[in-house]
Amino acid sequence: MKNLRLGFSPYGLLIATLQLLPNIIWALFPPALNRLEGNASSVPFIEYGEHILGVTIVILLVFLVNRTQTRIIPRNSFTIASFAAIALYWLSI
């Protein structure tokens, strides 16, 4: 945690955008038959918690920067794992 600082992370923005890409496409080109209509939890704590945590994750991805990072996109096992997780997410849609 001591290597993190507040700033702008282009890598975090890339990861957040890739993660949200299906939602962006859905918002721009909604399907004729919306299968997710009414797909919300009846428990307000779960519903609001999901939205708050989703926004918080995007904010942390975009605005937390590693002080020791010199490249825009780091090339290590964590980067490969994050892109693999996003690819699996896209495949499961």
**Residue 46 pLDDT grade (very low, low, confident, very high; cuts 50, 70, 90):** confident
Which pTM was predicted?
Answer: 0.56
Distance CA 45, CA 22 (A): 25
* Residues contacting 68, CB < 8 A, separation 6+: 3
Residue 34 has pLDDT above 80, yes or no: no
- DSSP conformation class of 38: T
Question: What confidence score (pLDDT) does residue 49 get?
Answer: 83
- Any idea which residue has 């519903």 for tokens? 47
Q: How far is CA 12 from CA 17, 22, 66, in A?
A: 8, 17, 11
- 4 pairs with which residues across the strands? 66
CB atoms within 10 A of CB 66: 14
